[in-house]
Amino acid sequence: MPVTAKLSRMFYERFGDELTNELVDWFNQVDATYRGELRELNELNFARFDAKLEQRAAELDAKLEQRTAELDAKIEQRTAQLDAKIEQRTAQLDAKLEQRIAEVKAELHAGLAMLEGRLLARIGVLEGGLIGRIGMVEGRLTRLTVLLWVTLVATLLGVLRLT
């Protein structure tokens, strides 16, 4: 702290140069000692602060690592749960799909069997109708053949009588 010029002059006038210089030297030595001790104290405090800061940084690093590991574990657990759910849902969908395919196959087989039955019935009706018509045609042909033979025989008999 600077000493004012008036105070300094008063010291020199009252106590003289030798005593005042001695006093100034002593104050300067005390000031230098205090400054050195203050510097050492500051360096010690800074070293402790730096050590605490390093320790806190290491603790923070450890906490961060721990939290990261916990988060990784949670993510792995959730992923496994999600995979299990997906597998379960896939199995359920597969079962439903298989069931629906079986139902569609059964409906298709039933429909085909019904269609086959209707087709066979229709073929039977057509076959019966065809056989009936063939029988009718055969009957007509037989009558015509008989009529032709009777006419032929009558004509032959008539020609034979005439001759």
120-156 residue pLDDT tens? 999 999 999 999 999 999 999 999 999 999 999 999 9
- Residues of the chain with pLDDT > 90, as a percent, come to 78
Q: How confident is the model at residue 158 (pLDDT cuts 50, 70, 90)?
A: confident
Residue 12 contacts residue 22 (beta carbons within 8 Å): no
Q: How confident is the model at residue 2 (pLDDT cuts 50, 70, 90)?
A: low
Task: Tell me how far apart the alpha carbons of residues 126 and 118 are, in angstroms, rounded to a whole number.
Answer: 12
Sign of CA dihedral 118, 120, 123, 128: negative
Task: Note the pLDDT of residue 163.
Answer: 73
1 pLDDT exceeds 80? no
Task: Note the pLDDT of residue 160.
Answer: 85
Task: Note the pLDDT of residue 11.
Answer: 78
**How many other CB atoms are found less than 10 A from the CB of residue 15?**
13
Task: Note the pLDDT of residue 3.
Answer: 60
